[in-house]
Amino acid sequence: MSTVALIPAHDEARRIAATLTAVRSVEGIDTVIVVDDASSDATAEIARSAGAAVIRLEQNVGKGGALEAGMAEAGDPDVLLLLDADLGETAVQAGRLLEPVLAGAADMSIARFPRPEGKAGFGLVKGLARWGITRLGGPFDAHAPLSGQRALNRSALRACRPFEAGYGVEVALTVRALRAGLRVVEVETEMSHAATGRDLAGFVHRGRQLVHVAAAIVRLARDERR
């Protein structure tokens, strides 16, 4: 059974090496692919030195586009593991995501993170994402609707592609899997990443997320009516 880890990255030179070291220590992962989404730093070079296969994009295409570009290298694996580049050492927890999928108990697993320390956002994007999943995918208690840490078997991968653009990718993954009648589970982890705070950069990031998630919900609703 082949398992591929696919990691989109943009300007993650500070954290990508630790993330890759942790991912490569997880038993059962055959290939690790990093898609460098037009970084302005040394993300690609560091990832390559850390043993990952690297796809370098010349223009920034966003998270969903980077994942879709990575599939050219990933091929048709039995299991696809999606991870963010800024997990650092906590990426070793990816093994928990693989367990239910490899055991045949789930078609898609999603990582739940511990509650972050300090102030984060106001929950608007998360609330919209949860509403969209319930409205368009069916009854599913999504505690981590925006989590990018996921494992998908071949059935889920085929049902969920192409990846939705930008930050709408996670909502679309969950909705499409539920619509296909697949088994989706959330898994408790101790993962952590560089969460945004209540500063200007954080508000800009969450504003972009909100727009992308709303656009994904509109497109998914349109697909439902066809």
Helix 62-74, helix 169-179: angle, nearest 10: 60
CB 126 within 8 A of CB 145: yes
pLDDT at 224: 72
Tell me how far apart the alpha carbons of residues 78 and 29 are, in angstroms, rounded to a whole number.
Answer: 11
Q: Is the pLDDT assigned to residue 115 strictly greater than 90?
A: no
pLDDT, tens digit (0-9, with 9 covering 90-100), for 197-213: 555 556 566 788 899 99
pLDDT at 113: 94
* Identity of residue 100: P
Structurally, how many domains does the chain consist of?
A: 1
CB 178 within 8 A of CB 133: yes
Tell me how far apart the alpha carbons of residues 98 and 26 are, in angstroms, rounded to a whole number.
Answer: 10
DSSP H helices, the chain, are 16-24, 43-49, 62-74, 94-102, 124-137, 154-160, 169-179, 200-225
Enclosing domain of residue 81: 3-225
pLDDT, tens digit (0-9, with 9 covering 90-100), for 49-106: 999 999 999 999 999 999 999 999 999 999 999 999 999 999 999 999 999 999 999 9
Does the pTM surpass 0.75? The reply is yes
CATH number where 38 lies: 3.90.550.10
Q: Is the pLDDT assigned to residue 32 strictly greater than 80?
A: yes
Q: Is the pLDDT assigned to residue 10 strictly greater than 90?
A: yes
Tell me how far apart the alpha carbons of residues 72 and 55 are, in angstroms, rounded to a whole number.
Answer: 9
H helices, E strands: number in the chain? 8, 7
CB 121 within 8 A of CB 198: yes
